[in-house]
Amino acid sequence: MRCPFCNDESTRVVDSRLSREGREIRRRRECEECGRRFTTRERLEEVVPKIVKRDERREEFQREKLESGIQKACVKRPVAEDAVQRLLDRVERRLIDSGESEVSTRQLGDLLLQELIAIDEVAAARFASVFRDFKSAEDYDDFFATLAASGRSSEEA
């Protein structure tokens, strides 16, 4: 491992710790040339399926894009950043565990929506309005009626 300060290759590991639910190793290293310390992280490279867009284009999975969409849906909602990160971790894990080489945006959106409903129904409705291209108030009515019919709605009339 090269030192980021002096670019020398003679470094040694001072400390190693597991993190991120045991899927990542954090290593403290020290450069034997300049004596400065730095941190590296190692994690298993897992294969996340490619995302098949509506127009049949294929893209690499981009967690940042999902995070941006979820963050927009959660604006001014009582949703903790940690809850969003755990949601994204669960979705990414399910994609990896699926063993599929490709997943449609429809499947991915449904998976995100399912996870978001459990956290905040209003944020889920915002996400659904973009994902499912709501055109009118009736689309929102249908969304909330489906939630109520499935017994997920937390609001009582």
Six-digit token string for 67: 């995070």
Domain residue limits at 16:
11-43
Asked whether residue 157 is domain-assigned, the answer is no
Six-digit token string for 8: 């020398």
- Specify the pLDDT at position 152: 63
Asked whether residue 139 falls in the same domain as residue 67, the answer is yes
Q: How many domains does the chain have?
A: 2
Task: For residue 40, report the phi and psi dihedrals to the nearest 5 degrees.
Answer: -125, 160
Count of helices and strands (H, E) across the chain = 5, 6
Q: How far apart are CA 142 and CA 47, in angstroms?
A: 36
Q: Is-contact 31 6, C-beta < 8 A?
A: yes
Asked whether residue 6 is domain-assigned, the answer is no
Q: How far apart are CA 19 and CA 131, in angstroms?
A: 33
Asked whether residue 29 falls in the same domain as residue 73, the answer is no
Q: Which helix (H) or strand (E) holds 58?
A: strand 58-59
Asked whether residue 58 falls in the same domain as residue 73, the answer is yes
Q: Note the pTM of the prediction, 2 decimals.
A: 0.65
pLDDT in tens, 67-124: 999 999 999 999 999 999 999 999 999 999 888 999 999 999 999 999 999 999 999 9
Asked whether residue 111 falls in the same domain as residue 139, the answer is yes
Asked whether residue 64 falls in the same domain as residue 92, the answer is yes
Asked whether residue 86 falls in the same domain as residue 67, the answer is yes
Percent of the chain topping pLDDT 70: 95
Asked whether residue 36 is domain-assigned, the answer is yes
Q: How far, rounded to the nearest angstrom, does the alpha carbon of residue 97 sit from its chain's CA centroid?
A: 14
Asked whether residue 156 is domain-assigned, the answer is no
Q: How far apart are CA 128 and CA 110, in angstroms?
A: 9
Residue 46 above 80 pLDDT? Answer: no
Asked whether residue 18 falls in the same domain as residue 90, the answer is no
